[in-house]
A and B are shown apart, each in its own frame.
Chain A
Amino acid sequence: MPEIVAGQKAFSLLEVCRSLEKTITNRYGSEFWVKAEINKLNHYPHSGHAYPELVEKKNGVVQAEMRSVIWGTNFNSINDRFKQLLGEPIKDGIEVLLLASLDYNAKYGLSLHISDIDVSYTLGELQKEKQESINRLKKEGLFEANRKKRLALLPKRIALISVETSKGYADFLKVIDQNEFGYRFFHMLFPALLQGDRAVASIGNQLKRIAKVKHHFDAVCIIRGGGGDVGLSTFNNYELAKAVASFPLPVFSGIGHSTNETVTEMVSFRYAITPTELGDFFIQRFHNFSVPIQDALKLLKNKPKQILIEENHRFLQNIKSLRYELKAKMRHSKTSLNTTLSEFQHLSKSRLRKDANGILNLAEQLSRGSKSILNTASKSAQEQMEDLSKAYQRFQDSAKLDLQNKERFIKISDPINTLKLGYSITKLNGRLIKNSEDLKLGDQIENTFASGTAISEVKFKKNGK
């Protein structure tokens, strides 16, 4: 219910929305067919739902735009039919004929609830226009023209087509002007409208101006800041794409979007998804120039010194080896001289030794000879003496023995010696009795002993045999 606020009758926002919702539901109760282009599909594979951004364009310019929703189950069956009939899934930039009901939510606003899409009606106007642009440019031999331009080694003079207050312009300048490497760029802004139905003419006009002063520049950059994918249709325009493709300098585009590649980008010398990325390209280009120079500087600081050192080293090495060779040669000569000398010495020594040996041998032989003669002589004299002495001794000994034997015999022959042994001498009438037969009974016999005598009478007698 409306209330009085500051003296005015006022509705709350929710009241307005609810009223709107009621009106729409009453007015658009049933489904109807709508012809539109899916500018961006916005399909979320996880949930399966899609939230297509629907547009209608006239001459490449967006006339109407509305959000929509296709629930997962519907989306899958529609998508399957797309793949079947067109050989590709539902995607951005296609013209569709869709069956939908209008849906209004107080919080999320107005959207079309799509239940079906007529697949047979589908080659989007956008896609058609795009394809037509491409085909025409290719036919005219312009499609590759800008891409084949030669870019200066250092593209440092840049003509910028952009909007001075846009984020993309600021992003780009930040990269190239605030680089930490000391690279300096010259850039000049040629302001243009980059969105809407006047963009094609605006950009084309600035390209013409730049062409007039092209000798001051190395490259052109078309930089669009922000904005959704909707505004991108401008860049599929044939006139704009042609102006870029046939431009005398390399044209770069950094028009900032996430999906569709526009014809202008296709024919650009190079394009980047974002202005920052485009700025990085230029910095990289400077690196490609700067790094070899840094390397050259490093090389020039060290290498020539090194070359000279090596040269000097080689020179010294040569001297060294020369000296070494000389020394070796001298040493060799000396050695061979010494060898000859020692050979000579050796030879003469051995010769001398040989002669001396001969003499010594002779002397020795002589000495040995005379010695042996003397020895033999002296030996035989001595032996004769010895023999003589031995013979004399033998003679003496035998004479002595003979004498002793005779003496002993003489001694034994003395009767006293026998008597001393106990024997006695028997005599009769002074006659020696050696036999008992010489006696008769009663004879008086004298017995002589070793000491003394006795007279005995024979009383009994026995004769011997």
Chain B
Amino acid sequence: MANKLKYEEAFSELQEIVNDIENGEIDVDDLSQKVKRAAELIKICRNKLSSTEEDVNSILKELED
């Protein structure tokens, strides 16, 4: 659950940065920091698209309890 929130937050934070950059609302001094942050966020989001962290066995175990 925490992880899920994380990627959704990452997604919306990324959208904000993208908007700022697109609209030219970012100071040149902040630019490199924002770009670095955006790269991190993209990594989180892309991982989410192509990975699975659930395990059938652990769910089955929970179901039996």
Contacts and interface: CB of A to CB of B under 8 A. Distances in A.
Contacts of A290: 49
Contact of B1 (A209, A215, A308): A215
A307 B24 contact: yes
B8 to A, nearest CB: 5
Contacts of A209: 63
Nearest to B18: A296
B49 A311 contact: no
A293 B45 contact: yes
A152 B48 CA distance: 12
A308 B42 contact: no
A374 interface: no
B63 A186 contact: no
A308 B62 contact: no
Given A156-B52, A184-B49, A289-B45, A304 B11 contact: no
Interface string A212-223: 110110100000
Interface string B25-65: 01010011001001100100110111111101001001100
A282 B4 CA distance: 17
Contacts of B31: 304, 307-308
B38 A296 contact: yes
B59 A293 contact: no
Contacts of A182: 49-50
Given A292-B18, A297-B42, A216 B54 contact: yes
Contact of B54 (A153, A186, A303): A186
B65 to A, nearest CB: 9
Contacts of B1: 215
Nearest to B45: A293
Given A212-B62, A297-B42, A303-B21, A154 B7 contact: yes
Contact of B51 (A184, A212, A303, A308): A184
A293 B46 contact: yes
Given A154-B7, A213-B59, A311-B28, A292 B52 contact: no
A186 B39 CA distance: 26
Contacts of A299: 18, 21-22
A129 B11 CA distance: 45
Nearest to B58: A216
A139 to B, nearest CB: 33
B16 to A, nearest CB: 11
Contact of A184 (B11, B50, B62): B50
Given A213-B63, A296-B14, A303-B21, A188 B39 contact: no
A63 B19 CA distance: 61
A296 B44 CA distance: 13
Contacts of B14: 292-293, 296
A35 interface: no
Contacts of A152: 4, 8
Contacts of A304: 21, 31-32, 35
A183 interface: yes
Contacts of A215: 1
A215 to B, nearest CB: 6
Nearest to B9: A153
Contacts of B38: 296, 300
Interface string A304-315: 100110010000
A212 B50 contact: no
A188 B54 CA distance: 10
Contacts of B49: 154, 182-184, 286, 289-290, 293
A185 B56 CA distance: 13
Nearest to A295: B18
B52 A186 contact: yes
Interface in A278-337: 286, 289-290, 292-293, 295-297, 299-300, 303-304, 307-308, 311
Contacts of B15: 292, 296
Contacts of B7: 153-154
A307 B22 CA distance: 10
Given A153-B11, A157-B54, 5 more contacts: A184-B52, A292-B18, A296-B14, A296-B17, A299-B22
Q: What are the nearest 7 A-B pairs in CB distance?
A: A186-B52, A186-B54, A296-B18, A153-B8, A293-B45, A182-B50, A304-B35
Interface of B: 1, 4, 7-8, 11, 14-15, 17-18, 21-22, 24, 26, 28, 31-32, 35, 38-39, 42, 45-46, 48-54, 56, 59, 62-63
Interface of A: 152-154, 156-157, 182-186, 188, 209, 212-213, 215-216, 218, 286, 289-290, 292-293, 295-297, 299-300, 303-304, 307-308, 311
6 contacts: A182-B50, A183-B49, A184-B51, A215-B1, A296-B42, A304-B32
